Amino acid sequence: MDGRVLIKNAPYEHPKVEFGKIGVLLINLGTPQATDPVSLRRYLAEFLTDRRVIEWSRWLWYPILYGIVLNTRPRKVAKAYETIWNKEKGESYLRTYTRSQASQLANRLSEFSSVRIDWAMRYGKPSIRSKIQDLQESGCERILLYPLYPQYAAATTATVNDESFRALINLRWQPAIRTVPRYHDDPIYIDALANSIESHLATLDWEPEILLTSYHGIPMSYFKKGDPYHCQCHKTTRLLGERLGWDKDRIMVTFQSRFGPEEWLQPYTDKTVEELAKNGTKKIAVINPGFVSDCLETLDEIAVEAKEAFLHSGGERFTHVPCLNDGTDGMKVIEHVVRKELAGWV
């Protein structure tokens, strides 16, 4: 038996079809295929032409994008990627971790013989479109989409869902779809973050005076249009501080990775680390609760650039708490969310 089933009483020429399976698709932001400027240009072009990411008029944005950004930024970003590239596997760590998360999740859900686990990237490869088609062709009549973002933002969760539903347009036999909602306040997620902080700080011979919870920023205009991201970030940090049992003034919310001339959510991470050092704070730690896996924004922008800014401004000790990645606590969160959202299907 090859797992395919002939439809009973079907015409002789009817193709064999597979059905009765359930798919789970883990989806992260994306990654270039390599660290050369050509690969970075291709990746950035796909990312920065997404209307969910850049909401400016195309008449205003495209001349800037194609005339300036894509002619200057790829070479600069390529150098940064080169410093944090997984040389052993020849890929970004984001790809390495996401693949591992899918593999470990399959093992954790092995009691469900009907469930198929796969992974994709919103930008780059493997594409959402190709993976949805693969799951459908393997017999998945139902698919759970898991955008790997604890806090909801239109520029992250929504664009993953947009692309997923666009992929259905080309399918004659469309699977039923569920999407994982935000889980920024889920106790399992908060506990995993707290465990990661406590475990990391236990390896140090010093105590941070302040912990920054640095989230990827969004333009202030998006927030004013009703994006709930800002509020969800603050709630995550508040619950995390309560779980750790810390005073409110020991944990702060900041936002990083701003791009372009308009105002973004504040306070900015880079400015904050400089101000803290100049005002006498000597020891800080930074964690990125909104990133499921370490990537350029955490391994370079925080662990390298923010550290240099803090020490250069008078700080003495700086540590970056790694993302949950594919560790035990991180996988516990992913498994918990998937099991909850598969209720009624398995």
Copy the structure tokens of residue 75.
């070479």
* Averaged pLDDT, 273-278: 98
21-183+330-342: what fold? Rossmann fold (3.40.50)
Over residues 195-236, the pLDDT tens digits come to 999 999 999 999 999 999 999 999 999 999 999 999 999 999
Q: Would you call 86 helix, strand, or coil by DSSP?
A: strand
Residues tagged in the binding site annotation: 216, 297
Residue 265 and residue 230 in contact, taking contact as beta carbons nearer than 8 Å: yes
CB-based contacts of 65, cutoff 8 Å, min separation 6: 45, 48, 49, 54
> What residue spans of 85-127 are helical by DSSP H?
93-108
d(CA 307, CA 107): 37
Judged against a pLDDT cut of 70, whether residue 9 lies above it is answered with: no
Establish whether domains 21-183+330-342 and 187-320 are of one fold: yes
* Averaged pLDDT, 82-104: 96
Question: pLDDT value at position 3?
Answer: 47
pLDDT band at 1 (very low <50, low <70, confident <90, very high): very low
Question: pLDDT value at position 14?
Answer: 62
Q: In 3D, which of 87, 105, 83 has the Cα closest to residue 96? A: 87
* Averaged pLDDT, 39-45: 96
Domain 187-320, second-level architecture: 3-Layer(aba) Sandwich (3.40)
Give percent helix, percent strand, percent coil of the chain, each to the nearest 5: 45, 20, 35
**Which amino acid makes up residue 150?**
P
Q: What is the mean pLDDT of the chain?
A: 95
Over residues 230-268, the pLDDT tens digits come to 999 999 999 999 999 999 999 999 999 998 889 999 999
- pTM: predicted TM-score of the whole model, two decimal places: 0.93
Query: Where exactly are the structural domains of the chain?
Result: 21-183+330-342, 187-320
Residue 280, Cβ density class (10 Å: 0-12 exposed, 13-18 middle, ≥19 buried): exposed
CB-based contacts of 112, cutoff 8 Å, min separation 6: 22, 346
Question: pLDDT value at position 83?
Answer: 92
**Which amino acid makes up residue 317?**
R
Residues tagged in the binding site annotation for Fe(2+): 216, 297
Judged against a pLDDT cut of 80, whether residue 2 lies above it is answered with: no
